[in-house]
Amino acid sequence: MQTADTIKGVKELTRHWKKSGRTVGFVPTMGFLHEGHLSLIKASIKENDHTVVSIFVNPIQFANSEDFASYPKDFGADEALCKSAGVDLIFYPAADEIYPPGFSTYVRMEGLTAELCGKSRPTHFQGVCTVVSKLLNIVAPDKAYFGQKDAQQLAVISRMALDLDMDTQIIGCPTIREADGLAKSSRNAYLSSKERQAAVVISKAVFGGERMVAQGERNAAAVLTTMRAIIESEPLAKIDYIEAVDAVTIEKIETLCGRVLVAVAVFVGETRLIDNFIASCEG
């Protein structure tokens, strides 16, 4: 396994692989890797000749009030996980390598970013789209892998790749969960033991809503009301949003029909966690 901290170094290696007729898979991360990231890495390794993992905490997707400075980091552990998994290259750049002095070009999307996390974090997806577009240009992968836990992000990046005629195929992979159901997240490390126990209420709400839909409920308000009641039963949990939207357009819906996304964001203590389920619903 190799590690590169410059754009030039990554480009030289990945272009060499592609000129040799080999395929490249890419897993962009902010580090502090866990089993969710590992599932993406394994998918890439299975489907490509070479796999690149980027580790970069992207400053421009954090608002001033958010946790950029305290975002958990452990490059040694990340490096060991990547090496044991069979990753070929880690891209580990400094912020000024990605955003050099004078940087002034950003990628902004309309529509898909108006609801859910885009509504409560209005600058977030401009930062995400900008860094992902740069990383895809740098690595030039055949396929890039993203988790369904960040379902809106997956939809946004898929749309961006389509709209900007990018050659990379965007692959969504299932959410990986703890034994008690909590979705794997680097931010879980922020939780105290009491908060960690409380956080399970999020996945309980998601599973409860999913069961209702599987049993034939098509009224979005009924599903959301049940999920909201489950979350509000936990004193340490505070809902940021809970919404039902079209899984492709991310527009709010009243009737669950077609491919739908039901997503939640919840503060447990000071930690904001997200979860969701996606369902294909007949009328």
The residues annotated with a catalytic role in the active site are 37
Give 40-61 as a DSSP string. Answer: HHHHHHHH-SEEEEEE---GGG
Q: Which residue has the tokens 């619903």?
A: 281
Q: Where are the alpha helices (H) located in 71-123, listed in sequence order?
A: 75-85, 95-98, 117-120
Alpha-carbon distance 93 to 88, whole Å?
A: 16
Q: Which residues contact 179 (CB under 8 A, 6 or more apart)?
A: none
As beta bridge partners, residue 49 has: none
CA distance 218 to 68: 39
Could you give the CA distance from residue 143 to residue 23 in angstroms, rounded to a whole number? 8
Check: CB of residue 118 under 8 Å from CB of residue 245. no
Q: 3-class SS at 229? A: helix
